[in-house]
Amino acid sequence: MFETYIKDYNEAVIEIDKKAALEVVENALANGVTPEDIVFKVVMPAVEDMMQHVLNDLDSNLAQHFMTAQIAAEITEKMLLKFSEPPEVIGRVIIGTAFGDLHSLGKRIVMGCLKSMMVDVIDLGVNVTSEEFVNAAVEHDAQVIAISSMMMHSATGEEGSLAVRDLLKQQGLESKIKLVVGGSPYRYDNELYTQVGADSWAPDGITAAKVICDLIREVKKS
């Protein structure tokens, strides 16, 4: 029976059928499946499969990935309210769009994946200054700052990632808070992330979630 729920859920998200995915979850709950099993054995594996698919097919459907991430995030948030005990998050990330940039689609895909993977996400929105990024990271004890930029001027601007790096260095936080970037400029130049002071970068929102999780674990081990 449980394998049927997994199969039906995967088919629903592949078809970008949010209603069907929610029905699978409700049926599973009604038949005694725990909210914990729904998140950890149904939703999270589906997100991980999507990540692997992106790695294997760089031309895969962005809209489908966005909706899969959003469905996963919504279901995870609903199930968390039903957990017998509050779940242990693996870490916390501050995310936002660089100063001078108002694009948010890529950021929203990252957020959806991270939430389904038990990462606490603090979203600062768009047009975020370097001080706002660092202050939020300190206030919320975050392990990672993630900055999205869709335009070159916002990626390399005075209030961009380089300014965040300078603030982290000034405050002695470079080992405690990692910096990851993503967006169109970095896909055109794969080495640009090093020029703007980031620790890592990702070519798309799905890969970014994996990179962020890896950086969180790196910080926690140090």
Residues 95 and 135 in one domain: yes
CATH number at residue 32: 1.10.1240.10
Tell if the pTM clears 0.85, that is, is over it: no
Q: What total of structural domains would you count in the chain?
A: 2
Query: Domain limits at 114?
Result: 91-221
Mean pLDDT, all residues of the chain: 86
pLDDT of residue 35: 87
Element holding 14 (H helix, E strand):
helix 2-14
Residues 120 and 145 in one domain: yes
Most confidently predicted of 23-37, 74-88, 159-173, 176-190 = 159-173
Q: Which of 80, 102, 122 is the last residue of a domain?
A: 80
pLDDT of residue 115: 83
From the list 21, 66, 56, the residue with the least C-alpha distance to 42 is 21
pLDDT digit string, tens, across residues 30-85: 999 998 889 888 888 887 777 666 556 555 556 666 777 788 888 888 888 888 87
Residues 127 and 210 in one domain: yes
The answer to the question of residue 205 being in a domain is yes
Distance (Å, rounded) from C-alpha 218 to C-alpha 215?
5
Q: What is the CA radius of gyration of the chain?
A: 18
Q: Using the predicted structure, report yes or no on whether residue 168 has a pLDDT greater than 60.
A: yes
Q: What is the mean pLDDT of residues 85-92?
A: 84
Q: Which of 80, 113, 141 is the last residue of a domain?
A: 80
Residues 30 and 106 in one domain: no
Q: Which residue did the predictor score with more confidence, 56 or 119?
A: 119
